[in-house]
Structure 1
Amino acid sequence: MPFSGVVEFVGREAELENLHHLLQENQQVAVAAIVGMGGVGKTELALQYANLHRVTYQGGICWLSALQDVGLQLVQFARNQLQLNPPDDLDLLGRVQYCLTKWHQGEVLLVIDNVTNYREEVRCYLESVPSRFKQLITTREKLQLPIVRLDLDVLTPLAAMQLLKSLVGEERLRREALIARRLCKWLGYLPLGLELVGRYLLGDEELSLTEMLRDLENERLKNPALDEAQPEMTDKLGVAAAFELSWRRLGENAQRLGCILSLFALAPIPWELVEGITINNEAQDWKRARRGLLQLHLLQLKGEGIYQLHPLLREFFQDKLTGLEQAEELKRSFCGVVVAVAKDIPQTPTIQQIKDITPAIPHLAEVANNLIQYVTDEDLIWFFVGNAGFYNGKGLYNQATSLLEQCRKIVEQRLGNEHPDIEILLNNLAVLYHSQSRYSESELLFQQILALKQHLLGEKHPDIAFTLNNLAEVYHSQGRYSEAEHLSLKVLALRQRLYGKEHLDVAQTLNSLAGIYFSQKRYKEAELPFLQAFLLRLSLLGEEHPDVAMSLNNLAYFYYSIGRYNKAELSYQKALALWQRLLGEEHPYFLTSLYNLVNLYSSQGKYSKAKLLSLQSVVLSIKIWKKQNPDVANSLNNLGKHYKSQGKYSQTEPLLQRALEIFEQTLGKNHPDTVYMRENLADLRDRLTSEQ
């Protein structure tokens, strides 16, 4: 048998047991196959099994390599080890059968390593053998029944760390434990890669794991640690050479598909994205090519319609891509498919839409970070706007903002500041700034957009009304109510003149105007536009829409403020149920309705309900916003109100103090909400002083 160079065999205990069960306890199994990708440790597992169970196989263990003629090797083994001499007048098959018939008593283990074609390499000699002969083969191919497969996967993260520790030592691993985990992950927990890198580190004790990881990230498969096996290793090939054996057995289209898959992010790949990739604008039969990759374990099926490449195979295919004649065309086609996904993402996607889009998101990020030069000028802005829409829909405004800011830099470099679509990008960015309470930045962008539109389109164009409405909402958020009201009335008149009264844009303006009246406690003026906006949206959009939920929340808040608590509670509950169905609980809109309901319950004296929802809102707000956002302050304030209503002033003070700090940092010291919070805190401290 070959020499095993393993220092410590780890992570395969269950596989050893399963293999023994297949060969010994299942009498129906004539042939068992250890199956897996190159470098996963098939040969080593077979070696460990053979050494562990020498006593079981009293008739001997015969190790054969399918890289040479199996029949010749078997006859040679019988002559040298068993002193059998088959007659010279028999052909090779006859001599094999003679040896099998005369073999020593007891069970026999025949190990055939590196099988690439079982029918031609093995079955022709061993099709009918006595049941005491157990055949164990190692192969990269997915063989079919009656051969029973033991599919060998990469190591678990824990086993990978144990393997690395056995080579570099516990102390060295302990000093850089986090880097060691990253190193194992970069190698995809592949035993061959781990052993190569471990032995390389063993040979250079001054090389840190941090330096090793940095070099691998820079040099990829060309790094000398992965390039050549050490003489004492079981496997004699480097990673690229091991993969090359499988590459040569692929058809041209399967090779091309492997290269295409390497363009995707290191994440599960939805097959529907692959099917859209063309060559010379012609669809390809990628399914047949996929079969070739799966057959040789060069691609993993992760779920229905979902596939993934091993990290090191992805590196290998990326290297091969550089040598393909169609490499540039494939990159453009790949980017076109991914861009199409981004362009279909709505600005406020529902939970189901987010769920449907999520598998494609890592691949959108891959294009944004590494292949953006292959996105056409026409698609550039829409790609980023759609991608940002996904994060916006999840309430992850920081990620959405980062994408649009990245887009702004790229657009200015590629297209200049006066490209017709630049306004779309700036508008989306301004809306996101507004959502994050970055009002000054939002106002500045909206004013830039307004000036640009007025110059190009004139004062009465529908797009002017759109920007004026957004600017009015920023003024409203800043507490600049007279400016906000003036703009909203102007927008309402313009939109009604353009569209009539039955239009969603009119509903949007009515809702904004009602909110401005409401913030000034002009409740009689606020009620009618709130109702009009709600009824318009319900009529035009149907009940299952985020804008309807928003109108319900606004109506509920209005009813609460004028003391109509029953109507307020019913509307809040409807809004919360809608938000939960459409956007999920971890979204700012759900949070807004939640702490509004907290205020309502507190006002009604329903303190147990109020406390429960207050705690939920604090947890959710910190989860969504981290710590610096007005919504976090509102949640803290609501919890403080609950304690205050019960006379627990000492528990209330730190909550209101923190809420005031957040308001001052995010809204400014003179914002109405900040002033109101400061007054509440001062009142509370007066009460605490009077009680002492």
Structure 2
Amino acid sequence: MSGVEKFVGREEELENLHQLLQNNDRVAIAAIAGMGGVGKTELALQYAIQRRETYNGGLCWLLPKTGDVGIQVVQFARTQLDLKPPEDFDLLAQVQYCWRRWRDGDVLLVLDDVSNYEEVKPYLQSLPSRFKVLMTTRQKLGRIAQLSLDVLQPETALELLKFLLKETPGRIEKELALANQLCEWLGYLPLGVELVGRYLARKQDLSLAEMLRRLKNKRLDERSLSKSKSEADMTAQRGVLAAFELSWQELEDSDKELGCLLSLFAAAPIPWKLVEQCLPEEDAEDLEEIRDDRLLNLHFLQRKGEGIYQLHPLLREFFQYKCTGLEQAEELKRSLCRVMVAVAQDIPYSSTLEQITAVSPAIPHIAEVANHLIQYVNDNDLTGAFIGNARFYEGQGFYNQALPWYNQCLEVTKERLGEEHPFVAESLNNLALLYYSQGRYSEAEPLYIQDLALTRKLLGEEHLDVATSLNNLALLYYSQGRYSEAEPLYIQALALTRQLGEEHLDFAQSLNNLAVLYDSQGRYSEAEPLHIQALALRRKLLGEEHPHVASSLNNLAGLYRSQGRDSEAEPLYIQALALRRKLLPEDHPDVALTLNNLATLYRDQGKYNEAEHFCIQALELRRRLLGEEHPFFALSLNNLAKIYHLQGRYTEAEPLYLQALEIFEQQLGVNHPWTVKCRENLANLCDRLPPPQ
């Protein structure tokens, strides 16, 4: 009996298997179930080797795929046990004769690779209780006790790879990160790790980086995944592709179609409702039957949670390999794209935590469409997948993760639709808005100007998209302290959105923007009614619990602060903070904004402990989310310095003022109101510092 030289990572499974076989009054039939390549035969073999003393009546290894099990039993009994069952008995009677006269002691029967249990079941019916039957199978066998064998744990897969390369010590350690990536690409499948490890052992000059590159390039056709004739000591008789092919042959056409569709999704858990949406013509119960009775039963598919399923990475590669020859492949790709683009288009710009959580499982699959299937998306939906991914990250304040999606959107749109297209203008606007959020104002401005000019040219002066472009460019000018340039743009935008009617969210946005500008200019009597109107409109259209309502509460509170009406401002700030913490992730720039505002309120009231507490929270959030070159980070530095300043903690305040001033001057210029105020604060502080010794 052979077997691998060192059996890695299955100690617990071996013990569980032994208990499973022993804990039965009469006959224990345990099925080691799992997809091809997971190590079912090797586990059975190692169990037989390690427990040989338990089964003093011997081991009988049977191969149902190679012929009738009854004939194999009789042949074994004649050659190994010197039994002579009467030839005038039928086959079943001969087998029962052999069972009755078998060598004394406990016996282990191994049936390796059972595909049809009903064919072997008659021979097992009259077994004496001293016989234990162990089957390996790719299927679930009803009520039979079952040990489901999964892939290796990451650390165990790495241990196996190290062992296979033991002749070249240090090879794994030298490229440890790549070794882990290699195991991950193989999905921690024992057969895949063993084949690749043996291949690398034969090719000592082949780097792990090159091996990984070849696998990604040639995928299942890579020769390292095929069994070499020189590997006579391997338990597995096939390469990865051949192992999977056996199960593929057991599938019906409808099973194959569903498997191929699943392979088009990303290598991530798949919500089943998305699968059903991709096949609207199919009956949901029929799909459920294929999933449960075929793909799950044959271990092509794994259930990851309620309504969530996933293909093993190499099985995904296998189904994609098969998909190339499937007649319905093109339509399946188009259908998946339609569904994922529709999901992406429903992701709002200002997402709540609930919305983020709900859409999170779909994000990898939207990304898969954008990255690998965009040619199957029609022109009218071209930007949807890119924008959806970007909004998902942008809505959480993860601007760096959103940026590549907006850049990619602009490139793909220009390439397919040309330089002058509304989608190009939209892409310019989205990219500019992200730069604005990152505090990269000088990069945002030319994009906004391009977007506005292109939108006017393509859609006309009266189009609502022109109002959006005007609003965004005005917001940039406002943030740069260029109030006189911002105001006429805001007024134009307000006039355009008013045409939609005075109960429209875009109109509420224009009211809010103009109000914030007037507030900053000290035009409080003009700002207040606009703030109040925007808040009322947002509450009416969106309800009390929405991020836009929180923004209006925060902005109205800011107006009251500017007027010294602190008793009216404080409850609004507290409401805004509670709403934002409830609706948004805790780590969100808007949460930091309200924390900062509350800190300045408490500072001016002389509540320095509360002010410092909120200001430090805002500072750390902004450091983490926006980086240390963002004007908002500098603003929090300035505010914390002012708190220390007012408490006489001058030596703590000075370095913060200096750091804030450097950022303001670099990002906003020397004449920006924030720069000027910070410079004044620093000058006042310097008057109070003790002279140098």
User: TM tier, shorter chain?
Assistant: over 0.9
CA distance in 1, matches of 2:301, 2:666: 51
CA distance in 1, matches of 2:253, 2:220: 22
When structure 1 is superposed on structure 2, of 364-373 and 327-336 the one drifting more is 327-336
The C-alpha deviation readout for 1:539-583, integer Å capped at 9, x for no partner, is: 333211221110111122222333333322211111011112222
CA distance in 2, matches of 1:656, 1:27: 80
Where does residue 179 of structure 2 map in the other structure? 180
Question: 147, 157, 162: which is aligned to 2:159?
Answer: 162
- Structure 2's unaligned 5+ residue stretches are none
CA distance in 2, matches of 1:248, 1:585: 51
Where does residue 215 of structure 1 map in the other structure? 214
Distance of aligned partners of 1:531 and 1:28 in 2 relative to their CA distance in 1, 3 Å threshold? farther
Question: 124, 127, 131: which is aligned to 1:126?
Answer: 124
CA distance in 2, matches of 1:681, 1:7: 73
Q: TM-score when scaled to structure 1?
A: 0.94
CA distance in 1, matches of 2:533, 2:603: 29
Where does residue 536 of structure 1 map in the other structure? 537
> Does the aligned pair in 2 maintain the 1:251–1:289 contact within 8 Å?
no
Where does residue 389 of structure 1 map in the other structure? 391
- Deviation of 1:436 (Å): 2.2
CA distance in 1, matches of 2:23, 2:609: 62
When structure 1 is superposed on structure 2, of 192-201 and 641-650 the one drifting more is 641-650
| Seq. identity, % | 59
- Deviation of 1:523 (Å): 3.5
Where does residue 142 of structure 1 map in the other structure? 140
When structure 1 is superposed on structure 2, of 133-142 and 620-629 the one drifting more is 620-629
When structure 1 is superposed on structure 2, of 419-428 and 339-348 the one drifting more is 419-428
Two-structure CA RMSD over aligned residues (Å): 2.2
- Deviation of 1:509 (Å): 2.4
Distance of aligned partners of 1:345 and 1:71 in 2 relative to their CA distance in 1, 3 Å threshold? same
CA distance in 2, matches of 1:687, 1:245: 83
Where does residue 448 of structure 1 map in the other structure? 450
Give SS of 1:38's match: coil
- Deviation of 1:468 (Å): 2.4
Give SS of 1:585's match: coil
Distance of aligned partners of 1:665 and 1:298 in 2 relative to their CA distance in 1, 3 Å threshold? farther
Question: 51, 60, 68: which is aligned to 2:49?
Answer: 51
CA distance in 2, matches of 1:368, 1:361: 11
- Deviation of 1:316 (Å): 1.0
> Superposition pairs for residues 253-652 of structure 1, below 5 Å?
253-278=254-279, 285-291=286-292, 292-456=294-458, 458-493=460-495, 495-496=497-498, 498-499=499-500, 501-652=502-653
Question: 40, 58, 61: which is aligned to 1:60?
Answer: 58
Where does residue 148 of structure 2 map in the other structure? 151
Give SS of 1:34's match: strand
CA distance in 2, matches of 1:677, 1:155: 58
Letter in 1 for 2:367: A
CA distance in 2, matches of 1:142, 1:486: 71
CA distance in 1, matches of 2:215, 2:509: 54
CA distance in 2, matches of 1:538, 1:277: 37
> Does the aligned pair in 2 maintain the 1:381–1:422 contact within 8 Å?
no
> Does the aligned pair in 2 maintain the 1:112–1:136 contact within 8 Å?
yes
The C-alpha deviation readout for 1:32-53, integer Å capped at 9, x for no partner, is: 1111111111111111111111
- Deviation of 1:462 (Å): 4.4
CA distance in 1, matches of 2:221, 2:244: 13
CA distance in 2, matches of 1:671, 1:26: 82
Distance of aligned partners of 1:434 and 1:46 in 2 relative to their CA distance in 1, 3 Å threshold? same
CA distance in 2, matches of 1:26, 1:567: 75
- Aligned pair count reads 686
> Does the aligned pair in 2 maintain the 1:349–1:393 contact within 8 Å?
yes
When structure 1 is superposed on structure 2, of 388-397 and 245-254 the one drifting more is 388-397
- Deviation of 1:466 (Å): 3.4
> Does the aligned pair in 2 maintain the 1:7–1:167 contact within 8 Å?
no
Give SS of 1:636's match: helix
Where does residue 223 of structure 2 map in the other structure? 224
> Does the aligned pair in 2 maintain the 1:29–1:148 contact within 8 Å?
no
Give SS of 1:142's match: coil
Letter in 2 for 1:163: L
- Deviation of 1:457 (Å): 5.3
Distance of aligned partners of 1:690 and 1:351 in 2 relative to their CA distance in 1, 3 Å threshold? same
Letter in 1 for 2:82: Q
Letter in 1 for 2:667: T
Give SS of 1:67's match: helix
- Deviation of 1:656 (Å): 3.1
Letter in 2 for 1:127: Q
- Deviation of 1:356 (Å): 1.2
Distance of aligned partners of 1:438 and 1:540 in 2 relative to their CA distance in 1, 3 Å threshold? same
CA distance in 1, matches of 2:421, 2:150: 51
- Deviation of 1:474 (Å): 1.6
> Does the aligned pair in 1 maintain the 2:26–2:130 contact within 8 Å?
no
Distance of aligned partners of 1:493 and 1:110 in 2 relative to their CA distance in 1, 3 Å threshold? closer
Give SS of 1:391's match: helix
Letter in 1 for 2:582: R
When structure 1 is superposed on structure 2, of 370-379 and 653-662 the one drifting more is 653-662
When structure 1 is superposed on structure 2, of 187-196 and 504-513 the one drifting more is 504-513
Give SS of 1:394's match: coil
